[in-house]
């Protein structure tokens, strides 16, 4: 199993792309989406819809913390690198079945 990767918050999606750091992320101003670089280091990016309070279909439940977010349920890339893991309190962790 891979070691956890600290998530680095940046200002916006352009900054995520420029930084090219695994696990870097930005949450848009309204809190409706998170954009991040895959924590495995493959260089791909994820754009995930967020919700707070009650879980809705096709969105990740976000705890509202912008500096050290927690998302539920797990995040799984079904194409590309096959990353499977969690973002919890600002740290990316890998599940045993993660392809990365």
Distance CA 66, CA 2 (A): 25
E strands of 28-83, at which residues?
33-37, 45-51, 60-62, 71-72, 75-76
Tell me what pLDDT residue 58 has. 85
pLDDT tens sequence across 36-49: 999 999 999 999 99
Going from the C-alpha of 93 to that of each of 28, 30, 69, 75, 87, the distances in angstroms are: 23, 26, 13, 10, 7
Distance CA 62, CA 79 (A): 23
Phi-psi domain of 54 (left: phi exceeds 0; alpha: psi -120 through 50; beta: other): beta
pLDDT tens sequence across 67-89: 999 999 999 998 889 999 999 99
The residues pairing with 91 across neighbouring beta strands, listed in sequence order, are 6, 88
Could you tell me the residue ranges of all domains in the chain? Answer: 5-94
pLDDT above 90 covers what percent of the chain? 87
């Amino acid at each position: 199993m891979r070691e956890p990767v600290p998530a680095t918050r940046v200002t916006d999606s352009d900054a995520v792309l420029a930084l090219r750091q695994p696990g870097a992320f930005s949450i848009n101003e309204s809190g409706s989406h998170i954009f991040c670089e895959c924590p495995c280091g493959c260089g791909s990016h994820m754009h995930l819809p967020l919700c707070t309070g009650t879980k809705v279909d096709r969105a990740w439940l976000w705890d509202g913390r912008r500096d050290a977010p927690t998302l539920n349920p797990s995040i799984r890339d079904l194409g590309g690198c096959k990353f499977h893991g969690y973002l919890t309190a600002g740290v990316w962790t890998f599940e045993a079945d993660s392809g990365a």
